[in-house]
A and B are shown apart, each in its own frame.
Chain A
Amino acid sequence: MNHKWLLLFLIMTSTVFISGCWSQKELNELAIISAMAIDKNEEGKYVKTIQLVNPGNVAGGLQGGGNGQSPAVTVYTAMGDSVLEAHFHATSKVSRRLYHGHANLIVISEELAREEGITDILDAFERDPEIRMTSRVVIAHHTKAGDLLKSLTAIDKIPAEKVNGTIQTTERARGESMEVTLQDVITTLTSAGKETVISGFSLIGDIQQGKKMENVQQSELDTTLESDGLAIFKEGKLVDWYQGEMSRGVVWILDKIQQTDVILDWKGQENTLTYNVVRQKTKVSADTTNDLPVITVNVRAEGDIREVRSQIDLTDPYEILDIEKEFEKEIKKQLENTVTRTQQNKSDIFGFGEVIHRSDPEKWKKMKSDWNDTYFPNLKVNVKVEAFIRRSGNRTNSYISDMKQ
């Protein structure tokens, strides 16, 4: 009997020791990082900016607390000779253990990306088991990376969420930027047949104003954060920025467009028709029979007419066919512009190299080493577009047709 009680006692005590609390940290001992930014200063040291969530100030109005009085995030910066050293230097400023598990945004400064490249700084992020490979990566455009984290934002109180949300929304609605994860960046860096593209983000207005709480206490913010084009990389270094239709071309060829709009001139009148692409599919194929491979980009887009600003008979199927032809030409022109500019940059961001690798591994082996500089700029790229107009919204012909008769 005694024996049993002893055993029970042992089992009970062992629960204290084996319940996985070896390095347990309570929530009030953690500083939750929402975003990180990497800059480089004049002395050549890395400056790491970390954005910490103030949990009490994120909660909704009813919960009260310090809501409205102080910002939802606090930002610290620290310097170091390596990214990790900068991180550890930051611990001298924060009272809690820095916790990366919820960090969802990594901002890299334009300057650093352009001069030194991003190849040297990502290993620390990839190696750390706490940091997620699905964290989004963004390049700070026209501004320091750290400043992007310091500005307060409306609607989404945590700036990191605002940045990620904006990129996601623009990708889905227009396709001028795209979500790029840490894993995507590293995959494209290591791939010989595909170069890196990262979305840009910029700060509009004065950063000193953006840091203050007053910034978000007005209907129109003095300082805002905006999605701003795509950063084009070559072998880890930033070489070019694409904006507007140029950047949409990249997203389109990468087959990531979900919805977008195309404007067309019609019979001499400028910007008459707006076509809303509802779905599309882009296929890239390679023909490697000749010495220099030929790439074919096949786009098939489907959508509606959503704005008409002149007299066009949309009830006439033949007219619709003509309009479709014009849209095909317009989209083709835009995509070809993107391809031409990219070939001038000598950076295969479309992954044409990978397509050739898949279709003709033997040939690829010969071209692999100087793909970007020799072969890619001289590629012949055929763009074929099929655009279909399915319907025209809630009206057939525009009221403008009736007014002018």
Chain B
Amino acid sequence: MEKAKISAYQLFILIVLFELGSALLVPIAIEANQDAWLAILIGMVGGFCLYLVYHGLYSYYPDIPPTEYIQKIMGSFLGKILAFIYVLYFIYLSARVLRDFGEMLITSFYWETPLFILNTLMVLLVIYTVRKGIEVLARTSELLFVLIFLLGVSVLFLIVVSGIIQISYLEPVLEEGIKPVIKTTFTQTLYFPFGEVIIFAMILPYLNRPEKVKRIGLLAIGFSGLILASVMAINVSVLGVNNITRSPFPLLSTIQTIEVAGFLERLDVYFILITVIGVFFKMCVFFYASVVGTANLFKVKESARLAFPLGLAILILSITIASNFSEHVKEGLHVITLYLHLPLQVIIPSLLLLIAFIKNKKKKSKHSKNLFPKRKYRLVERDKK
């Protein structure tokens, strides 16, 4: 744990950029056809619940990262193994995001450039940022969020002005009933992108005002969920469901459809800017959590020293996890959601919360009842310090 503090506003921006990161790129929830936006919104509600679970754990151990409190909850041996699994999980996810980034650039723009080169450039940037620490990352996000916001608003404006939105593509709503939507939610959108906020459990201890964590987190998830749902709705209403299922990067296709006044067209650069910034932050957060988690688990004093070796590992992993794009996407949508996301994002955190709850209750009954009567008291205690 480095000695750093981030503000509530910075946390909000980090979560939003993180959620948008690679989710803006790919056709999320398209299994629900034209109701993809609905699946995203339901996934968002699920995301609220998951965040409350992570926040519950945080409120029991507000000053230490998950890699440490897992050991307190599960005992040293089992806890260490579990923490190690989580660190590996974070590393794997950052490799996936890196691969997404590289694949997107190669497919759409740099088809003669090797994947290795593009990924190396990104990884170097991420390593640099993470070595500078969480405060720098948070401040950068504040700066770039303005840019992304302006880009998003202008793209939305151009899409509306060029008259390519056909709301009728969104109908009929719930053609096959609610079932496929719920199914998509529980096989995809709940975990990607919303469940991935579990990574912020590693970052929450840095927040300077712990009482705001709950509200800010929920707000950020809600905000990004609304953005994702409306972007997907716009994609569908511009391209139609058939075209989206066939395009690996639907937002790019949507932006390419814009034609305003005969010269405002071919605005691919908007897409590149939005996604590169988004993916950069997503990678940074994942990578930061991996580095801090490793340092915490193996008691490395200066976590920044781990950035280079871990970065190299992620770079190699990002290239070796799949031999082609189809394999990468298939793994992302069908394998890891079930075998990694579901246990690590939902089941284990819920169990941990349950155990923590029981343990703390026991503690409470053992000690005199006045020691921790209410949370308010604890806050006052800390302020005095």
A binds B: yes
Interface residues of A (CB under 8 A from B): 18, 20, 22-23, 101, 129, 132-134, 183, 186-187, 190-191, 354, 357-359, 361
B240 contacts the other chain (CB 8 A) = yes
A86–B266 Cα gap in the complex (Å)?
26
A133–B247 Cα gap in the complex (Å)?
12
List the one stretch of B109-117, B141-149, B224-232 in contact with chain A. Answer: B109-117
Whether B175 contacts A361 by the Cβ 8 Å rule is: yes
- The interface bits of chain B over 88-101 (1 if a CB of A lies within 8 angstroms of the residue's CB, else 0) are 00000000000000
Whether A358 contacts B253 by the Cβ 8 Å rule is: no
Whether B259 contacts A183 by the Cβ 8 Å rule is: no
A76–B347 Cα gap in the complex (Å)?
63
Whether A133 contacts B256 by the Cβ 8 Å rule is: yes
Whether A132 contacts B239 by the Cβ 8 Å rule is: no
Number of A-B residue pairs having CB atoms within 8 Å of each other in the complex: 43
Considering the complex, give the chain B residue whose CB is closest to the CB of A359.
B172
Whether B242 contacts A183 by the Cβ 8 Å rule is: no
Known: A23-B113, A132-B256. 9 other contacts (CB 8 A): A22-B117, A23-B112, A133-B257, A134-B257, A134-B259, A187-B240, A190-B243, A191-B242, A361-B175
Whether A186 contacts B243 by the Cβ 8 Å rule is: yes
A101–B259 Cα gap in the complex (Å)?
15
A129–B257 Cα gap in the complex (Å)?
13
99-123 of chain B: CB within 8 A of chain A: 107-113, 117, 121
Query: Residues of B within 8 Å of A, CB-based: how many?
Result: 23
A361–B107 Cα gap in the complex (Å)?
36
10 A–B pairs (Cβ distance < 8 Å), ordered by A:
A22-B112, A23-B112, A23-B113, A132-B256, A133-B256, A183-B257, A186-B243, A190-B243, A357-B172, A359-B172
Whether A183 contacts B168 by the Cβ 8 Å rule is: no
Whether A187 contacts B108 by the Cβ 8 Å rule is: no
Considering the complex, give the chain B residue whose CB is closest to the CB of A190.
B242
Q: Chain B contacts of A191 at CB under 8 A?
A: 240, 242
Q: Chain B contacts of A18 at CB under 8 A?
A: 121
Whether B257 contacts A354 by the Cβ 8 Å rule is: no
B381 contacts the other chain (CB 8 A) = no
Q: Chain A contacts of B171 at CB under 8 A?
A: 358
- The interface bits of chain B over 189-225 (1 if a CB of A lies within 8 angstroms of the residue's CB, else 0) are 0000000000000000000000000000000000000
B265 contacts the other chain (CB 8 A) = yes
Q: Chain B contacts of A132 at CB under 8 A?
A: 256, 266
Q: List the 5 shortest-distance A-B pairs measured between CB atoms, nearest first.
A: A23-B112, A358-B171, A190-B242, A22-B113, A361-B175
- Closest CB of chain B to A122's CB: distance in Å? 12
Whether A134 contacts B256 by the Cβ 8 Å rule is: yes
Chain B CB within 10 Å, residue with most, of A20, A129, A134: A129
Whether A129 contacts B109 by the Cβ 8 Å rule is: yes
A101–B243 Cα gap in the complex (Å)?
21
Whether B121 contacts A358 by the Cβ 8 Å rule is: no
Q: Chain A contacts of B243 at CB under 8 A?
A: 183, 186-187, 190
Q: Chain A contacts of B256 at CB under 8 A?
A: 132-134
- The interface bits of chain B over 235-259 (1 if a CB of A lies within 8 angstroms of the residue's CB, else 0) are 0000110110000000001001101
A129–B113 Cα gap in the complex (Å)?
14
A22–B105 Cα gap in the complex (Å)?
13
Whether A129 contacts B172 by the Cβ 8 Å rule is: no
Q: Chain A contacts of B107 at CB under 8 A?
A: 129
Q: Chain A contacts of B175 at CB under 8 A?
A: 361
Whether A358 contacts B168 by the Cβ 8 Å rule is: yes
A358–B110 Cα gap in the complex (Å)?
40
Whether A23 contacts B168 by the Cβ 8 Å rule is: no
Whether A354 contacts B168 by the Cβ 8 Å rule is: yes
Whether B265 contacts A187 by the Cβ 8 Å rule is: no
A129–B105 Cα gap in the complex (Å)?
11
A18–B117 Cα gap in the complex (Å)?
9
285-335 of chain B: CB within 8 A of chain A: none
A154–B263 Cα gap in the complex (Å)?
22
Whether B172 contacts A358 by the Cβ 8 Å rule is: yes
Whether A129 contacts B108 by the Cβ 8 Å rule is: yes
- Closest CB of chain B to A154's CB: distance in Å? 21
- Closest CB of chain B to A67's CB: distance in Å? 24
Q: Chain A contacts of B172 at CB under 8 A?
A: 357-359, 361
Partner of A23, one of B110, B121, B240, B259: B110
A354–B266 Cα gap in the complex (Å)?
30
Considering the complex, give the chain A residue whose CB is closest to the CB of B171.
A358
- Closest CB of chain A to B240's CB: distance in Å? 5
A132–B267 Cα gap in the complex (Å)?
11
- Closest CB of chain A to B29's CB: distance in Å? 19
- Closest CB of chain A to B273's CB: distance in Å? 14
- Closest CB of chain A to B30's CB: distance in Å? 14
Whether B239 contacts A183 by the Cβ 8 Å rule is: yes
Q: Chain A contacts of B112 at CB under 8 A?
A: 22-23
Q: Chain B contacts of A134 at CB under 8 A?
A: 256-257, 259, 265
Q: Chain B contacts of A20 at CB under 8 A?
A: 110
A361–B180 Cα gap in the complex (Å)?
15
Partner of B242, one of A129, A187, A359, A361: A187
A38–B265 Cα gap in the complex (Å)?
26
Considering the complex, give the chain A residue whose CB is closest to the CB of B243.
A187
A101–B109 Cα gap in the complex (Å)?
12
Considering the complex, give the chain A residue whose CB is closest to the CB of B238.
A183
Q: Chain B contacts of A183 at CB under 8 A?
A: 239, 243, 257
A190–B245 Cα gap in the complex (Å)?
12
A352–B112 Cα gap in the complex (Å)?
44
A133–B110 Cα gap in the complex (Å)?
18
- Closest CB of chain A to B308's CB: distance in Å? 16
- Closest CB of chain B to A57's CB: distance in Å? 22
**Known interface pairs A183-B257, A191-B242, A358-B168. Does A129 touch B111 (Cβ–Cβ under 8 Å)?**
yes
A191–B240 Cα gap in the complex (Å)?
10
Considering the complex, give the chain B residue whose CB is closest to the CB of A191.
B242
A187–B113 Cα gap in the complex (Å)?
31
- Closest CB of chain A to B323's CB: distance in Å? 20
- Closest CB of chain B to A345's CB: distance in Å? 23
- Closest CB of chain A to B306's CB: distance in Å? 22
Q: Chain A contacts of B257 at CB under 8 A?
A: 133-134, 183
Chain A CB within 10 Å, residue with most, of B112, B175, B239: B175
Q: Chain A contacts of B266 at CB under 8 A?
A: 101, 132
Q: Chain A contacts of B109 at CB under 8 A?
A: 129
A129–B272 Cα gap in the complex (Å)?
14
- Closest CB of chain A to B253's CB: distance in Å? 7
A190–B244 Cα gap in the complex (Å)?
12
A346–B265 Cα gap in the complex (Å)?
37
Q: Chain B contacts of A186 at CB under 8 A?
A: 243
Q: Chain B contacts of A354 at CB under 8 A?
A: 168
A393–B255 Cα gap in the complex (Å)?
42
- Closest CB of chain A to B65's CB: distance in Å? 33
- Closest CB of chain B to A334's CB: distance in Å? 25
- Closest CB of chain B to A200's CB: distance in Å? 23
A170–B184 Cα gap in the complex (Å)?
46
